[in-house]
Structure 1
Amino acid sequence: MWVTSWPFAEYVKHEWAGAWVNSLFRNESRILSSELIREGVAATRAFYGDPPDLGIVTFVDSSKIRSTNPGYCYLMAGWKRIGKTKGGLDALGQSPSEMPDPIAPKGFTPSLLPGKIPTLLPQHP
């Protein structure tokens, strides 16, 4: 499962305000997590279009992860460690130039693109 949010910068308290946020990722399959992360970013680009200047970020709570190397699957997908939040979460990110090309996910409905339903999907600058 992959979820990307694009919160309005004025409501964000971390230093990556304006970036897309990978709010949820879970892999229960045999597919490498790094491959699914690349596909998630490609699908996000297909849905939202051009990425924001700050790219995409995610936050990892290493105290909640069994791995001895929290965030490793993101690193293998081309992300980088970019800092920590004030609350101590590890921040990982990927800049627009490092992102995979957009690829629409299976079953993608173009009529649900941002701007087609303005009451549900507010536009970002």
Structure 2
Amino acid sequence: MTAAGEVEGTVRRDGGNPIEGLGVELVDAEGRVRATTITEFDGYFLFEGVAYGRYTVRLGKASAAALRLDGDFAVGAAPGKATPRVRLGALILKPLRRDVALRDETPPGGNSARGPPEEEERRP
């Protein structure tokens, strides 16, 4: 039997509203995803049966992008003998910055997905 604990928290938007349906990942020290879960209606998530050690809790990239949240958010958690249940509390997420979102939508060559720049539209 391996000693195991739990990691829990609640995810909220910067304004305080809970985020439902957000994918959350538990990543070990070697960078492997050990578990995934989805936040509940109130933003709550729980990883059970987590072997003692050091982990990172991060957002799933796809669901963070779909919910327009900063996908680089991550926080550490280390369940162990002294603290088998890690309570991360409320994790406050900021929205994806507009300039980052626009940069991600711009294909190589500088034209946006919305069509050609105005300069090109005026050409004969």
TM-score (norm 2): 0.29
Higher relative CO (Cα under 8 Å, sequence separation at least 6) belongs to: 2
**Which has the larger Rg?**
2
Structure number with higher helix proportion? 1
